[in-house]
Amino acid sequence: LLTPAQLSRLRVVLCSTRNPLNIGAAARAMTNFGFRELRIVTPYAPAFREARSAVGASHLLANAKQYDTVAEAVADGTLVVGTTAVRKRQLQHSLRRLEDGARLIRKRLSAGPVALLFGSEKFGLTNEELSHANWLIRIPTVEANISMNLGQAVAICLYELIRDPKAARLVEKAQSPSAAEIDRVTSMLLEALSLSGFLGRRHVADSKQRIRRLVRRLGIPARDSTIWLGMLRQILWKLNSDSNNVLGARD
Amino acid sequence: LLTPAQLSRLRVVLCSTRNPLNIGAAARAMTNFGFRELRIVTPYAPAFREARSAVGASHLLANAKQYDTVAEAVADGTLVVGTTAVRKRQLQHSLRRLEDGARLIRKRLSAGPVALLFGSEKFGLTNEELSHANWLIRIPTVEANISMNLGQAVAICLYELIRDPKAARLVEKAQSPSAAEIDRVTSMLLEALSLSGFLGRRHVADSKQRIRRLVRRLGIPARDSTIWLGMLRQILWKLNSDSNNVLGARD
């Protein structure tokens, strides 16, 4: 849904992050979803160095910019959104659930840069950091466990921004076999059931219809019809040769 | 959206996970979103021990069950869904985007247990592990970077299961001030503009209307109207006292 231009307009701003693994995780989620601009505000210096030098650290992380203040990091943003785990922090800002906030952010990304702020692992965004935000979003966690891992929180926010409510249309279904192939499977199964005596114990016409419906309900994928036919063919061969042997033995 | 009964029916099944941090991260995301049943299949044994003994390891992680085979771990599932980063693994299974797959999983959780499988960090689910799945989901990552961090992938899948498309209705807006308070702010601002000479340079009637609209467009939160009134009152006092002084000096 987001165009490359819109993706490039989001600034993920990590404030006071301590753990280098979290800086790396944020960068990784950004590359997974096509975002580009990571900004780090007064990181615990060794954490940033360590994250940057980590094995597999991305181009994105290497290009992350470091800022001394939130004001500088969000200066080009036409909208600044803070993230919080807390529900009612005296409501100095409007607080939206992520589902709704992401919708608004997507709209604003069409027009100009949007900064999305994440606070430190332990305390979240400070009041000073929050004062730069226009409004806040929260991920809808359960009341008893509101504190999320930072890397996971970043990943979920970015996912919500790129998710496509119309994705149902994009299902890649395993191809279905043709009706003719299904008919071949049905015929062979019927023959095997007949030879094995299964159909002999029932009224045949009705049973055949039932078996036909049973096979169609299986939903055999196209790629599997050949192997099913092969298995049935082998079973039929064995059933036929056994009954011939039995007949032969009677002679 | 999911009831406690539905939440309790999801089994998060980690197959061949190596990194204890990822087992811990999966457990943490589960507690964030209210899921309960974590199952571990043949984990790299030290990883599982380390994850369980980690500081802050949850009740959920302590109660995670260990299994030797995928078959045992998913035995009670009426639906088994695999996760994959790969787009077209020859389509042995139907492959759905997460948005669509989660919709189907939610439905099935009303009826019975559903197992959601995650593979190892390096290789994902093996073909053997995948053979237990009814169908697969993929998180809609960009083609160039399909490989996600395991803990982040688990968190995103669980979030998609609990997200509420109607969340827009649940916005907690900062309370707006009454029209009377807005009028007081407007009046004081007009007085300040008048005293400062700003309004003198324009046709007054039109300017007043403009200022009135300007103030309303600000969207001052209820909790802030008092401080705005205080600031304006102070500025008015200063403007008045200065002009008195000037008049006094002229006397």
A154/A116 Cα distance (integer angstroms): 9
Over residues B21-38, the mean pLDDT reads 94
A239/A216 Cα distance (integer angstroms): 24
Q: Which residue has the tokens 């989901």?
A: B137
Decide if A116 contacts A159 (C-beta within 8 A).
no
Binning pLDDT at 50, 70 and 90, where does residue A30 land? very high
Distance, in angstroms, between B23 CA and closest chain A CA? 13
Residue B151 and residue A151: Cβ atoms within 8 Å? yes
Taking only the tens place, the pLDDT of each residue in A8-18 is: 999 999 999 99
Furthest C-alpha separation in chain B: 99
- pLDDT higher than 90, residue A161: yes
B153/A161 Cα distance (integer angstroms): 15
Tell me whether residue B85 is exposed, middle or buried, using C-beta atoms within 10 angstroms of its C-beta: 0 to 12, 13 to 18, 19 or more: middle
Phi first, then psi, for residue A21 (nearest 5°) are -60, -35
Cα distances from B179 to residues B171, B207, B223, in angstroms, run: 22, 19, 14
B106/A168 Cα distance (integer angstroms): 14
Residue A173 and residue B92: Cβ atoms within 8 Å? no
Over residues B164-187, the mean pLDDT reads 75
Mean predicted lDDT score pLDDT of chain A: 86
Taking the Cβ of residue A159 and every Cβ of chain B, the question of whether any pair is shorter than 8 Å is answered with: yes
Residue of A158, A168, A161, A163 whose CA lies nearest to B96: A168
Q: Which stretch of A52-56, A230-234, B108-112 has the lowest confidence by average pLDDT? A: A52-56
Mean predicted lDDT score pLDDT of chain B: 86
Cα distances from A61 to residues A27, A35, A38, A70, B100, in angstroms, run: 6, 12, 7, 19, 32
Question: What pLDDT is stored for residue B250 in this prediction?
Answer: 47
Decide if A117 contacts A133 (C-beta within 8 A).
yes
Over residues B235-249, the mean pLDDT reads 74
Binning pLDDT at 50, 70 and 90, where does residue A250 land? very low
Q: At what angle do helices A150-162 and B20-33 cross, to 10 degrees?
A: 60
Whole-angstrom Cα Rg for chain B: 31
Q: A14: Cβ–Cβ under 8 A, 6 or more apart, which residues? A: A22, A23, A26, A38, A39, A40, A41, A43, A118, A150
- pLDDT higher than 90, residue B81: yes
A170 chain-B contacts, CB cut-off 8 A: 97, 100
Taking only the tens place, the pLDDT of each residue in B154-173 is: 999 999 999 998 876 556 66
Q: Least CB-CB distance to A174: which of B94, B145, B223?
A: B94
Extract the tokens encoding A18.
Answer: 């301590």
Extract the tokens encoding B13.
Answer: 């099944």
B227 chain-A contacts, CB cut-off 8 A: none
Q: B87: Cβ–Cβ under 8 A, 6 or more apart, which residues? A: A172, B95, B138, B143, B146
Question: What pLDDT is stored for residue B216 in this prediction?
Answer: 81
Extract the tokens encoding B97.
Answer: 């985007």
- pLDDT higher than 50, residue B251: no
Q: Which residue has the tokens 């753990």?
A: A19
Q: Least CB-CB distance to A163: which of B96, B140, B151?
A: B140
Amino acid at B250: R
Taking the Cβ of residue A205 and every Cβ of chain B, the question of whether any pair is shorter than 8 Å is answered with: no
More confident residue, B7 or B192: B7
- Tell me the whole-structure pTM to 2 decimals: 0.80
Extract the tokens encoding B122.
Answer: 């390096």
Residue of A174, A145, A227 whose CA lies nearest to B29: A145
Residue spans of beta strands (DSSP E) within chain A = 10-15, 37-41, 65-67, 79-83, 95-97, 114-118, 135-138
- Pick from B58, B83, B135, B145 the residue to mutate for testing the A interface (most A CBs within 10 Å): B145
Distance, in angstroms, between A35 CA and closest chain B CA? 10
- pLDDT higher than 90, residue B196: no
Extract the tokens encoding B90.
Answer: 């020859």
Question: What pLDDT is stored for residue B202 in this prediction?
Answer: 62
A99/B14 Cα distance (integer angstroms): 27
Q: Which stretch of A136-150, A155-169, B10-24 has the lowest confidence by average pLDDT? A: A155-169
Phi first, then psi, for residue A121 (nearest 5°) are -55, -40
3-class SS of residue A53: helix
- pLDDT higher than 80, residue B219: no
Find residue B66's DSSP bridge partners.
B40
Residue spans of beta strands (DSSP E) within A44-142 = 65-67, 79-83, 95-97, 114-118, 135-138
Extract the tokens encoding B141.
Answer: 């990552």
Decide if B30 contacts B12 (C-beta within 8 A).
yes
ipTM score assigned to the predicted complex = 0.80
Decide if B185 contacts B127 (C-beta within 8 A).
no
Binning pLDDT at 50, 70 and 90, where does residue B90 land? low
If you ran DSSP here, which 8-state letter would residue B87 be given?
S
Find residue A175's DSSP bridge partners.
none
Q: Least CB-CB distance to B91: which of A94, A100, A174?
A: A174
Binning pLDDT at 50, 70 and 90, where does residue B71 land? very high
3-class SS of residue B41: strand
Residue of A15, A27, A10 whose CA lies nearest to A116: A10
Q: State the Cα torsion A15-A7-A30-A57 to the nearest 10°.
A: -90
A81/A74 Cα distance (integer angstroms): 10
More confident residue, A13 or B94: A13
